[in-house]
Structure 1
Amino acid sequence: MKAPRLPVPTPLHGTDTAFTQDSITRRLTKILQRTLAENDLPDTAVAQLTALLNSIPHGRIGYLPDHLAPELDIWQADIQPYLGQTWLEAPWFFVETYFYRRIAAAVDHFRSGIDPFAHQKRQGLAATVTQTQALLRQADRLITNGWQPNGFRQMLLAALWGNQADMSMWAAGDDAMPNHAKVDDQTTHLLVDDTTAVAQLLQSPVRRVDFIMDNAGFELIGDLCLTDYLLATRQVGTVFYHLKLFPTFVSDATAFDVESTVAYLNHHEDPILREAGQRLISYLVNGRLHLVTDPFWTSPHPLWQLPPTINQQLANANLLISKGDANYRRALGDAPWPHTTPFADIVSYLPTPALFLRTCKSEVLAGLSTAQAAKMAQLDEDWLINGRWGVNQLANNNSD
C-alpha cells in the first residue's frame, strides 16, 4: 500500500486549534439541534440523538449500537482505538466521521431510509434557483460551442466555487455563506490555479474521468454541469461519481441525491434545465455516467488507505477530480502539513493524475509558495477557514 513520500504529521485533534475545538463543541451540537428540529423522528431516534448531543464534547467515544448496516463490523473496528477518549481527545477527522455515523445509526438509516438532512438539501436547491438557472444557461452556451479550453475553465470554476455551498458550515440560505458569483472574485481568490495543466491532460479526448463527490445542492449542480460539458462535447467517454454510502456532513451527496437532482432538473419549468436533465438521464441510462459508492468514503481513514478495489477503479481513470474540503483533508491525512509542503509529494500515492477543487474551510493546506503563505497571513486572518479562498490543484505524479 502506497503512502505519502514525506513523513506524515500527527493528525489534528479537537484541542489543537481554536477552529477544530469550535467545530466540535459548537458546530456539531448546532447541527444536531437543527436535525432534531427539522425532522419528525421516532422516539428511539430522538432519544439517541439527544444522548449524542449531551455527550459532546466531554462524553466518551463508544461503539455504535447494534443495527442493520453493511459496514457495522468495519466501523466497530475503526472505533476501537479511540474507545473511552473524549470528542476533543480523538483525532478530529475521526470525530467528525464518527459523529455522522452515530446519526445514521440513531435514525436506523439502512433500514428506514431516513435522510436526517433532507430538509437542508431541499432548502439548498430552493435557495439557489436563480444561480442554477444562470449556470445551466452558461453551460448550454458552452456545450453548443463544443470543447474549448476556455469553456472547460469556466465549468471548472463553477464546480470549484460551488463548494462554498456547504451546509455543514452554513445552513441553507445563511447570509454568512460566501458566494463568489462574479468571475473576478473567482479568479482573484484562487490560491492555486492549475487549469492550464489540467486542460492539457484533456486536450485529446479521453476514455474516463472519476469524481470523488462532495456536497449536494448547488455544488452538485456545478458538478453536473461540468460532467454534462465533458460528456456532451465528447471530450470524455465515461464519468464515474464516487458517492457517500449514507447521508453525512449534512449535505454530502449520495446516489439518491444525484438521481433526485437530475429528476429536479428534468421536471423543471425552465426548458434549459429540462434539456440538461434529459441529457443527464440519457448518460445514466446508456452507461456514460456511473454512480458508485463504497464504505470507504464515509470511513475515518486517510485517502492512502484506499481499498485495492477502489484503487484499481481510480487507476482506470485518465483524471481524478476530488471535490471539497473534507476530501482534501482525507487526502492529506487531516494533518497540519506546513503550507509550503509540495502538494504532489503528499498525494504521491494516487494511481492517476488528480485535480483537487476545494474552497478552504479548514486549516489543512499544502502547495503554496513561501511568499504566498506570508501574504495570505497578512491579507485575511481567517483565509484558511472562511470559504473565500480556493484551490484548483493538480498532482500529476505520472509526469515525474
Structure 2
Amino acid sequence: MKNSLVVNEIRVPNLPLPPALTGSEVGSFTEYTVTERMPAIALRVIKENNFPPQINHKLEQLAAALKTGSLQFLFPDEGVDFSDWEKYLQPYIGQRWLDIPWFVAETYFYRLILNITNYFIPGEFQGLDPFLLQKTQGLEASIDSTISLCSQVQEWLDEALADGKPSKASIMALLYFALWGNRVDLSLWSAFEDDRSKFDIQNQLTHLLVDDAFLVSKLLTKSPGQRIDFIIDNGGFELISDLCFADFLLGSGLAHQVYLHLKPHPTFVSDATIQDVYQTRDFLAEGSHPHVKSFTQRLTENLESGRLILVEDYFWTSPLAFWELPAALTAELAHSNLIVVKGDANYRRLLGDRHWDFTTNFADIVSYLPAPMVALRTLKSEVVAGLTTDTLAELGKVDPEWLTNGQWGLIQLVI
C-alpha cells in the first residue's frame, strides 16, 4: 500500500485525484439523481408530513430549482453545523445544482430540507424527522427477515458457546447480511416498492464483485476481545443487521466493545441516527417472538453496560471526503481494531466521489485511515475501484446497469 501525504494537515491518497462526479454529466446516474430523484424526495416530504403551506411552498421551490436553478443558501438556524455549511458552500456560490460536485449537492440538499422544515429552530417542528414515515414503514416491512436473522444469530451464539469459539462461517454470513441489508436504502427505493428486503444470501454470493469476507473472519478470530467500529449507513433492516452483527461480536467474545458511528440528524432519507437505534430497539421489543425479545434484551444490556456505544459527529453529514476526517475523529478511530464502513454513500466518501479508473487498487486510494478497514457496499453510484478488467468485461455483458441498480456488492478489506 502506498503511503499517504500530509497536506494542510489533511491526509490524502498518494495518487493524482481525478475529477469529482457532477450532475452535469449528461445521461449519467448522477444527472438522473439531481434532476429526478432529489426533486421527488423533496415533494414526498410534503406528502408525508403536515407542514404549513409556507414550508411546502419552499420545498416545491427547491424541487423545481434542482433541474436548472442555482444553489440557494440556508436561512439562519441553530444547527451546530450552520457556520460550517457557509464555508462548504463558498466555492460554489452562484453555480447550478448540476455543476457542483454531486456529493456536495446531495448532502446539502438534505441539510437544506431540514433548514426549510425548521428542524433546528425552536417550535412545533424542531427535531421532527421529515423521513420518519418511510423509516417506520421500512421497519414494518422487514419484520419477517428480522425474526429469521435474530433466530439465526441466537443459533450462532449457542454454537460459539458450545464450541468455545465462534465459527468463521457465522462471521462471513453476518458480513453478507450487513452488506445486502443496504439494498433497502430508502433514498433509492420506497419501502413497499417491491420485495427487495427479502433475499437469499447464497444467491447473492454470485453478485459479489470483490469478496474479502473470509479475510475479515480471519482477522476477527485471530485476536478476540477487540474494539470494532461501524460507520453506520441506513436504518431499517440494514441497521438491524448491523445491530445483530454487533450483538454476535460482543456475545461471542470477538469484541469487548463496539462503537456505532451515527448521523447527528436525518439525511439521505434512511440514514440512521442515535434516535433511530432506540426507536428500532423499542419497535422490536413490542414483538412477541422469543429470539427477537432475547436480542432486544441483550441490546439494552450492551447499551447500558457501555459495551455498545452510540456516537455521532457532524463530519458524517458533511460533504467532505473521508481523507478530510477531523483530527479528533481520526484519533478516536485509531483505537479501533477494525473499522466497518457501511453503504454506498460512505463508499463514495472513501473515494472522494471521484472518477477513479475502476481497476485502480482500492488500498492505494484508501491509504489514509488509522486502522484496518472493510467496506461493505452495494453499488448505487458510478464510483468504484479495485475491480479486474475481466470482471468489468463480464459485467458489461450480463448487466449494463451494474453500477447503479443495487444488485452488485463489494466486501473490500484494507489492512
TM-score normalised according to structure 1 size: 0.96
The amino acid of 1:29's aligned partner reads P
| Equivalent residues of 1:180, 1:186 under 8 A apart | no
Distance 1:370 1:50 in 2: 44
Distance 2:44 2:73 in 1: 24
Matching residue's letter, 1:190: L
In structure 1, distance between residues paired with 2:141 and 2:196 = 14
Q: Aligned to 2:225, which of 177, 200, 206?
A: 206
User: Residue 122 of structure 1 aligns to which amino acid in structure 2?
Assistant: T
Contact kept in structure 2, 1:231 and 1:237, CA below 8 Å: yes
Q: Which moved more, 1:225-234 or 1:103-112?
A: 103-112
3-state DSSP of counterpart to 1:93 = helix
Specify the code of the residue in structure 1 equivalent to 2:400.
E
**Is the 8 Å Cα contact of residues 145 and 198 (structure 2) preserved in structure 1?**
no
Instruction: Give structure 1 stretches of 5+ with no counterpart.
Output: none
How many angstroms apart in 2 are the aligned matches of 1:74 and 1:372? 41
Moved more, 183-192 or 210-219: 183-192
Shift of 1:269: 1.6
1:339 offset after TM fit, Å? Answer: 0.8
1:133 pairs, out of 129, 137, 147, with: 147
For the aligned residues, what is the CA RMSD? 1.2
| Aligned match of 1:190 | 208
Identity score, percent = 45
2:108 to 88, 98, 102: 98
**Distance in 1 between the 2:299 and 2:242 partners?**
12
CA distance in 2, matches of 1:145, 1:208: 22
Provide the residue aligned with 1:123 in structure 2.
137
Q: Distance in 2 between matches of 1:4 and 1:142?
A: 39
Q: In structure 1, what is the Cα distance between the partners aligned to 2:199 and 2:63?
A: 36
SS state at 2:77 partner: coil
Tell me the residue number matched to 2:308.
Answer: 289
1:167 & 1:192 partners in 2: Cα distance?
Answer: 24
> Residues of 1 paired with 2:173 and 2:147: CA distance?
15
1:308 maps to 2:318 = no
Give the counterpart of 1:40 among 41, 50, 66: 50
Asked whether the equivalents of residues 40 and 63 of structure 2 are also in contact (C-alpha less than 8 Å), the reply is no
Question: Aligned residue for 2:163?
Answer: none
CA distances 1:216-265 after superposition (whole Å, capped 9, x unpaired):
00111111111111011111011111111110000000000011111222
Task: State the one-letter code of the partner of 2:206.
Answer: T
CA-to-aligned-CA distance 1:178-226 (integer Å, 9 cap, x gap): 4561132221111111012111211121320001110000111111111
SS in 2 for 1:56: helix
Kindly provide the CA deviation profile for residues 325-360 of structure 1, in whole angstroms up to 9, marking residues without a partner as x. Answer: 000001100011111000000000011110000100
1:79 aligns with 2:89: yes
Distance (whole Å) between structure 1 residues aligned to residue 53 and residue 310 of structure 2 = 34
Are 1:239 and 1:288, in contact at CA under 8 Å, matched by a contact in 2?
yes
| Cα distance change on mapping 1:342 and 1:132 into 2, 3 Å | same
Whether the 8 Å CA contact 2:197–2:237 is kept in 1: the answer is: no
Say how many residue pairs are matched.
395
In structure 2, distance between residues paired with 1:384 and 1:8: 21
The 1:367/1:221 distance shift into structure 2, 3 A limit, reads same
Aligned letter for 1:19? F
Q: Distance in 1 between matches of 2:228 and 2:377?
A: 18
Secondary structure of 2:138's counterpart equals helix
Which shifted more, 47-56 or 341-350?
47-56
TM-score (normalised: structure 2): 0.93
Work out which of the residue numbers 17, 33, 36 in structure 2 matches 1:8.
17
Matches within 5 A, 1:341-360: 341-360=360-379
Which secondary structure does the structure 1 equivalent of 2:228 belong to?
Answer: strand
Find the aligned partners of 2:293 and 2:198 in 1 and give their Cα distance.
Answer: 26
Q: Secondary structure at the match of 2:68?
A: coil
